[in-house]
Chains A and B, each alone.
Chain A
Amino acid sequence: MSVKLGVPSKGRLMEKTFDWFGARGVGLARTGNEREYAGAVDGVEGVDLVLLSAGEIPRELAAGRIHLGVTGTDLIREKLVQWDQKVEPLAELGFGQADLIVAVPACWVDVDTLDDLDAAAAAFRAEHGFRMRIATKYHRLVREYLRRGGVADYQLVDSQGATEGTVKNLTAEAVADITSTGDTLRANHLKVIDEEPVLRSQATLFRSRTAKLDEADRAVLRTLMAKLDV
């Protein structure tokens, strides 16, 4: 047995994760050629590096197939029902910051709050004969947020990419998406509504509450966590 650490398999998220672990004396590296998803851990014995898509890490943690994993809070909260019973956040890594927000066309000068959005949705449905469409891939989080905010007469439409373009393309009236700087929103003539975001997310190290550990694994995990100071 060994302790399995799941890390995003590519891009800035992977590099920043490697840096974060490296700064704490745990060397992570990809091995083999450019295209091979294999990795090595240096500095602690008994830890295996598992390179995964950030979107799959929540599922793997919940299933107990990896013991530790780095992914965004947004993905954990969207993909895991009762997430806090399945994983424990150990440390916020200080990068990958992004907010899940609701945005509407900037030309909607009458809409700034959820209250406004609800009123606009009611009028929209009366005018157009269907419920106002909000494009997102975060269905559960957004639905719960709008329910708590008392917004009715809307529908979520699935958008797995280029979500900011849906309004201009007339496939949605508003969007709910992750943003860090807001540049893409502004470029697409959208504005964030003036409320607390649905969620503030950043790259976070999680521990699985379900993964099995034998005595040796337990010792390895303790050593690793001590080294990482989490």
Chain B
Amino acid sequence: MGVTTAQERAEAVRLRARFLEAGAENVDCAILQPAETLLDLYGEDIRARTYVTHDPARGEVMLRPDFTVPVVQMHMETGAAPSRYTYAGEVFRRQEEHPERAPEYFQVGFELFADDDSAQADAEVFALFAETLAPYRLRAVTGDIGILTAAVAGLETSERRRAALMRHIWRPRRFRALLDRYSGRSPVPASRKALLAAENPMDTAAPAIGLRSEAEVAARIVSLREDAAEGPLCESQVALIDTLLAVRETCSFALEQLHDIAVDMPALLPAVERFERRCEALAARGVDVATLEFEASYGRSSMEYYDGFVFGFVPTTRPDLPPVATGGRYDALTERLGNGRAAPAVGGVIRPGLLLQTGERA
């Protein structure tokens, strides 16, 4: 479908004007970003999705894959809460798996840094997007990564296992494999059995080479032995996670189901109450939570820096297209970029090119 760059840019400017009206300050950032920061945050995988190039003086640089990281950095240097920012510009994504998708497109964003009432901030951002996108045939989906992390934090198991699961929250398959192993659903690999059974596992003819020291190897063996001694994670705990991940309902019903799950897992309650306050704040802003969709697993595989409320707007008539708008809360990201100093934030982006492609307004 032919959407020209000029049309896309004009649409971006129109949407940004809408965000300016909502009280945001216009910001911009460099297209060339230091690759190091993003690689450190997202790991090697991001290379497959971004353009990384080399500059003899600056080292590795990346064509900005989004605005969020530079905007957070800018806010943490200069801004005070509450602050609202908007921006419009091109972002660049390598599309190895989907050459038919655009490698360069516009994003228009709105980011809200506010450290008092997260429910109100979440609701403000979502309501602004819902209102801006109301004329289009889009379906809104919401989720909450914070509920899953609360469930993992509440598991009756060792701190080590909870930390390993937490590390893989955004990798659903690996997360599942860990749960299966901790609960004894999948067998212990033969190599692990042999290692645990060995009297002197460090006895090897192989010379010590490389940076990872013998002490590090020994430390891991100790932790593997402790883990084996701990015994399996209780089936009922795994079942709670399964039930939780399967919640897919309107917000009102999802809230009821989550309250039921929290009866068996009290650690979940604060997160469920946060969800409840968000629903109230959304309703107060005119969002119909009785029909708004909620999926407990939404945003797990593609939105790795969101750690609380998440949302997306997907075209109802074009299932082949990616979401037209996505957003969420990313407190942990600000904490990592701020070296421990957090700046609670929630925001989202619209892709004007996709909005034009989805065609007619409803």
Q: Report which A residues bind B (CB closer than 8 A).
A: 81-82, 105-110, 112-113, 115-116, 118-120, 122-124, 127-128, 131-132, 139-140, 143-144, 146-147, 150, 152-156, 167-168, 170, 173, 189, 191, 194
Q: Say yes or no: B99 contacts A110, CB within 8 Å.
A: no
Write the nearest CB–CB distance from A71 to chain B, whole angstroms.
Answer: 20
Q: Say yes or no: B96 contacts A81, CB within 8 Å.
A: yes
Most chain A CB atoms below 10 A, which of B43, B173, B212: B212
Choose among B99, B189, B191, B206 the residue that contacts A107 (Cβ–Cβ < 8 A). Answer: B206
Q: Is B224 an interface residue (CB 8 A)?
A: yes
Q: Say yes or no: B210 contacts A173, CB within 8 Å.
A: yes
Choose among B181, B191, B211, B219 the residue that contacts A170 (Cβ–Cβ < 8 A). Answer: B211
List residues of chain B with CB within 8 A of the CB of A144. Answer: 48
List residues of chain A with CB within 8 A of the CB of B164. Answer: 119, 122
Write the nearest CB–CB distance from B327 to chain A, whole angstroms.
Answer: 24
Q: Say yes or no: B217 contacts A107, CB within 8 Å.
A: yes
Q: Is B137 an interface residue (CB 8 A)?
A: no
Q: A81-B96, A119-B220 are in contact. List 18 more A-B contacts (CB 8 A).
A: A105-B208, A107-B207, A107-B208, A107-B209, A108-B212, A109-B195, A109-B204, A110-B217, A110-B221, A112-B189, A113-B189, A115-B181, A120-B212, A122-B164, A150-B174, A150-B177, A155-B39, A167-B209
Q: Is B216 an interface residue (CB 8 A)?
A: yes
Q: Say yes or no: B217 contacts A152, CB within 8 Å.
A: no
A128 to B221, CA, bound (A): 18
A155 to B174, CA, bound (A): 18
Q: Say yes or no: A131 contacts B48, CB within 8 Å.
A: no
8 Å CB contacts to A: which residues of B32-47? Answer: 39-40, 43-45, 47
Q: Say yes or no: B209 contacts A110, CB within 8 Å.
A: no
A120 to B164, CA, bound (A): 12
List the A residue with the shortest CB-CB distance to B39: A155
C-beta contact mask, B177-201 vs A, less than 8 Å → 1, else 0?
A: 1000100000001011001000001
List the A residue with the shortest CB-CB distance to B191: A112
Q: List 9 A-B contacts (CB under 8 A).
A: A107-B214, A109-B202, A110-B195, A112-B189, A113-B192, A115-B177, A120-B212, A123-B219, A173-B210
Interface of B is mostly: helix
A119 to B224, CA, bound (A): 10
List residues of chain B with CB within 8 A of the CB of A167. Answer: 209-210
Choose among A107, A127, A146, A150 the residue that contacts B168 (Cβ–Cβ < 8 A). Answer: A150
List residues of chain B with CB within 8 A of the CB of A140. Answer: 48, 96
Q: Say yes or no: B191 contacts A113, CB within 8 Å.
A: yes
A108-B217, A110-B217, A156-B44 given as contacts; is B212 within 8 A of A150 (CB)?
Answer: no
A108-B217, A122-B167 given as contacts; is B224 within 8 A of A173 (CB)?
Answer: no
A105 to B211, CA, bound (A): 10
List residues of chain A with CB within 8 A of the CB of B168. Answer: 150, 152
A131 to B96, CA, bound (A): 24
A123 to B191, CA, bound (A): 20
A116 to B194, CA, bound (A): 14
Write the nearest CB–CB distance from B205 to chain A, whole angstroms.
Answer: 8
A107 to B207, CA, bound (A): 6
Write the nearest CB–CB distance from A43 to chain B, whole angstroms.
Answer: 39
A52 to B220, CA, bound (A): 48
A83 to B224, CA, bound (A): 41
A120 to B220, CA, bound (A): 8
List the B residue with the shortest CB-CB distance to A153: B43
Q: Say yes or no: A127 contacts B216, CB within 8 Å.
A: yes
List residues of chain B with CB within 8 A of the CB of A107. Answer: 204, 206-210, 214, 217
Q: Say yes or no: B217 contacts A168, CB within 8 Å.
A: no
List residues of chain B with CB within 8 A of the CB of A154. Answer: 43-44
A81-B99, A119-B164 given as contacts; is B210 within 8 A of A105 (CB)?
Answer: yes
Most chain B CB atoms below 10 A, which of A109, A147, A154: A109
Write the nearest CB–CB distance from B159 to chain A, whole angstroms.
Answer: 14
List residues of chain A with CB within 8 A of the CB of B212. Answer: 105, 108, 120, 124, 132, 173
Q: Is B101 an interface residue (CB 8 A)?
A: no
A81-B96, A112-B191, A150-B174 given as contacts; is B210 within 8 A of A168 (CB)?
Answer: yes
Sort A-B residue pairs by CB-CB distance and give the 6 closest, nearest first. A150-B174, A106-B206, A112-B191, A107-B206, A167-B210, A110-B220
A123 to B224, CA, bound (A): 13
Write the nearest CB–CB distance from A13 to chain B, whole angstroms.
Answer: 28
List residues of chain A with CB within 8 A of the CB of B173. Answer: 150
Most chain A CB atoms below 10 A, which of B189, B221, B224: B189
List residues of chain A with CB within 8 A of the CB of B211. Answer: 128, 170, 173
A31 to B46, CA, bound (A): 48
8 Å CB contacts to A: which residues of B208-255? Answer: 208-212, 214, 216-217, 219-221, 224
List residues of chain B with CB within 8 A of the CB of A115. Answer: 177, 181, 189
